[in-house]
Amino acid sequence: KAGVTQTPRYLIKTRGQQVTLSCSPISGHRSVSWYQQTPGQGLQFLFEYFSETQRNKGNFPGRFSGRQFSNSRSEMNVSTLELGDSALYLCASSVPAGGTDTQYFGPGTRLTVL
């Protein structure tokens, strides 16, 4: 089975712009979660989608949003970019949501905001 794929892998934007990141989960996985990783804050939960519905949302401003499509692919959007949004954005998928299900992470999208 192909793993979780994320596109693009690298992205450079300037302050004030908006960005859309894409995540394709492992075939058959219906839960997709997004995380932000920075050197200062480590890994932090952004949001989780299951069957096109947002199940949980982390403590991030409304500039961060996401959605999931009927084929389980997911996108996250960050509007009005700030320097502090520079981070590695990771997507993870699992079969159902939560419990003891193993999450499989993608390689991440490294976003740099100038």
Other C-beta atoms closer than 10 Å to the C-beta of 41 total: 10
Q: Is 68 in the site for another protein (CB under 8 A)?
A: no
Q: Is 109 in the site for another protein (CB under 8 A)?
A: no
Q: Is 99 in the site for another protein (CB under 8 A)?
A: yes
Q: Is 106 in the site for another protein (CB under 8 A)?
A: yes
Q: Is 26 in the site for another protein (CB under 8 A)?
A: no
Please give the Cα distance from 103 to 75 (Å, whole number). 18
Stretch of 14-22, 67-75, 79-87, 100-108 lying at the interface with another protein (CB under 8 A): 100-108
Stretch of 11-19, 69-77, 79-87, 101-109 lying at the interface with another protein (CB under 8 A): 101-109
Instruction: Please report, for residues 19, 31, 46, 89, the alpha-carbon distance to residue 62 in angstroms, rounded to integers and kept in the order given.
Output: 14, 21, 11, 17
Please give the Cα distance from 109 to 56 (Å, whole number). 21
Q: How far is CA 49 from the centre of its chain?
A: 10
Please give the Cα distance from 31 to 43 (Å, whole number). 19
Stretch of 13-21, 48-56, 61-69, 72-80 lying at the interface with another protein (CB under 8 A): 48-56
Binding site for another protein (CB under 8 A): 4, 31, 33, 35, 42-45, 48, 50, 55-56, 58, 90, 92, 94, 97-100, 102-108
